[in-house]
Amino acid sequence: MAKASDHPFTQRISHWINLITFAVLISTGFIIHAPFQGANMNVARNLHFIFMYILVINGIVRFYVSFFGKNKDYKEFFLNKLDLKTFIPQIKYYLFISKEHPKTNKYNGLQKCAYIALPVLAVFQAITGIILYLPLKFSGAAQALGSLAAVRGIHYVVMWLFIAIILVHVYLVFTEAKDEFFLMFFGKTGKKEKGGANKANQSVIKS
């Protein structure tokens, strides 16, 4: 059962920051990729780079907290024998092939793969973004990836990978773990404890 200790305050703050930065980066990214009449490109570009730096800084802080913080949790993201054993059953469950949800730890193997992939993709996205922002200074890097146009295409495709991962994540949270949503954002499930409800009922009966 989900509990508040699963998501300490530092993790919740990091999650909030990620939510806001991804929302801004994706929306401004669409504007930069396909400008429309009335769009302020300077504002879009500036916001895009400001929130890119916020995302990178937040990632560095989260990485530090994961390994050296009071509530370090880096071990929870390592794949283990149980993850490998339940990997295929988990895929079958998500694809509605199987109705039985395999028993896992806090995160299942697929979640761990997604959570490991996100920071890797974020770093790669930051690199390609800098190349696009300073094409003359990083022309060699652009050529190494094919061309400046290729870098732009790669940057756009990776953005869609982020969108896909986020959409799947949100869908699974609201269909499989609603309590986790409230715990991650508010530190509590919002449900009243049974004990408290029973006491309230008893006081009503006595009165």
Report the C-alpha gap between 91 and 93 in whole angstroms: 5
Q: Which is nearest to 32 in space by CA: 43, 45, 46?
A: 45
The reported pLDDT for the residue numbered 177 is 73
Under 8 Å between Cβ of 117 and 101: no
The reported pLDDT for the residue numbered 20 is 95
The reported pLDDT for the residue numbered 192 is 54
Under 8 Å between Cβ of 11 and 73: yes
The reported pLDDT for the residue numbered 50 is 95
Written as one letter, the residue type at 27 is S
Report the C-alpha gap between 168 and 151 in whole angstroms: 26
Domains of the chain: 4-206 (1.20.950.20)
The reported pLDDT for the residue numbered 202 is 42
Question: pLDDT tens digits for the chain (207 residues)?
Answer: 556 666 788 888 999 999 999 999 999 999 999 999 889 999 999 999 999 999 999 999 999 999 998 888 899 999 999 999 999 999 999 999 998 889 988 889 999 999 999 999 999 999 999 999 999 999 999 999 999 999 999 999 999 999 999 999 888 888 887 777 677 766 676 555 444 444 434 433 343
- Cα dihedral 1, 3, 116, 63 in deg (nearest 10): -160
